[in-house]
Amino acid sequence: MGAQLRVYRQKIRSAQTTKKITRAMELISASRIQKAQQRVAASTPYARAVTQAVSAVAAYSNVDHPLTTEKEHVERAAVVIFASDRGLAGAFSASVIKEAEELTELLRSQGKKVVHYLVGRKSVAYFSFRKREYARSWTGGTDQPVFATAKEIGDELVSAFERDAADGGVDEIHIVYNRFVSMVTQTPEVVRLLPLEVVEGVEPPGQHEVLPLYEFEPDPDAVLDALLPVYIESRIFNAMLASAASEHAARQKAMKSASDNADALIRDYTRLANNARQSEITQQISEIVGGADALALAT
C-alpha cells in the first residue's frame, strides 16, 4: 500500500471516531433538552406565585424596604455569571462571558466597583486563566441544576447585599445568563435582581381606583423580609434552569454541525483515497507492461 493511501485511510478513521463521539453527544443533548424544558415549565407556577406576591406588597403597601429602594451612591455591584461546566457547546459560555464583560465595563465607567460571582467551571477557568479575582464560585451540575444550589447562591447574594460596601457588601446585584428562546437561538440576558427593578403581573392602580385592602401578616415589612430572599432564589433557580436548557440546545447544535463536518471530511478523504488507490494500480500496470515489453525486446 502506498504511503499516500495509508495517510488518507488514517485520516478517514480518525474522522469516523470523532464523529461517533459527537453524534453520541448530540443525541444525549437532544434527549435532555426535553427534560430541561419540562423543568423550566414545572418551576413556572412557583416563580409566578412568588412574583405576584412580591408585586402585591410593592404595589399595595408603602413600605420602605432596603431591598427595594435604590441607594443614592452605589459603590460596589455584584455580577453573577451563569456559564456551563463543560465546553463543546459552541459559543454558549463565550457569549455569556462576553455579555458579562460588557456589563462590567459599563458599571466600571459609572464608577462602581464590580464583584464577580461565578457559576460553572468555564467561567471560573476564564477568570483564573486571566488571574482575575472573583468573590465566590459554584461548579458542577450546571446541566441539571438543583434548588439547593439556587438557595445557596441566593443566601450568599442577599447576605452580601445586606452588608455595607465597606465590609465587602454590594449595593447592586446583576445576573447574566443565557435565555432559551428556541432550539436554535439562545440569547445572553442581563437582569438586575436587586434593588428590585421590574414588578410584573400587577397593573399599577389607576388614579381613581380604590386599592384592594390587602392584609399583611404580621406586617408588610416582615412579609417583605421573608418574601424577598424567596423571590431572589426563585429568580436564580429560573435563570439556572433556563441556562441549562440553553446549554443542551447549544451543545446539540454544535455537535450536530461537528458531525456534519466529520461526514464531509470522511467523504472528501474517501474520494482522495480512491484516487490514490486508482493511480497506484495504474502505475503498477504500466510498470508491469513496461517490464514485459523490455523483456520481450531483450530476447
Partner 1 sequence: MALTVNVVSADQQVWSGEATMVVARTTEGEIGILPGHTPLLAVLAGGEVRVTQVGGRRITANAEDGFISVQNDTVTVVASAAELVG
Query: What does the binding site for partner 1 look like in residue numbers (CB under 8 A)?
Result: 39, 42-43, 45-46, 49-50, 52-53, 56-57, 60, 147, 150-151, 212-218, 222-223, 226-227, 230, 233-234, 237
* Three cell numbers, residue 34: 426535553
For residue 100, give the nearest of 16, 189, 37 by alpha carbon: 189
The C-alpha atoms of residue 8 and residue 14 are separated, in whole angstroms, by 10
CB of 40 vs partner 1, minimal distance in Å: 10
CB nearer to partner 1: give 171 or 233.
Answer: 233
With respect to partner 1, which residue has the nearer C-beta, 221 or 280? Answer: 221
CA torsion sign, 179 to 143 to 229 to 113? negative
- The nearer residue to partner 1, 127 or 216, going by C-beta atoms, is 216
**Nearest approach, Cβ of 227 to partner 1 (angstroms)?**
7
Rg (C-alpha) for the chain, rounded Å, is 30
At position 234, the amino acid (one-letter code) is: S
Nearer to partner 1, 100 or 227 (CB): 227
Q: Cβ 192 to partner 1, closest distance in Å? A: 22
Nearer to partner 1, 235 or 248 (CB): 235
The residue (of 39 and 253) whose beta carbon lies closer to partner 1 is: 39
Least distance CB 170 / partner 1 (angstroms): 24
**β-sheet bridge partners, residue 81:** 118, 176
Shorter beta-carbon distance to partner 1: residue 19 or 39: 39
Residue length, the chain?
299
Burial of 63 (0-12, 13-18, 19+ CB in 10 A): middle
Q: Shortest distance, CB of residue 56 to partner 1, whole angstroms?
A: 6
β-sheet with 172-180: strand ranges across: 136-138, 113-119, 76-82, 172-180, 186-194
Q: 88 and 255 in contact (C-beta within 8 Å)?
A: yes
For cell 486563566, name the residue.
129
Classify strands 136-138 and 172-180 as parallel, antiparallel or unpaired: unpaired
Cα separation, 133 vs 140, in Å, equals: 20
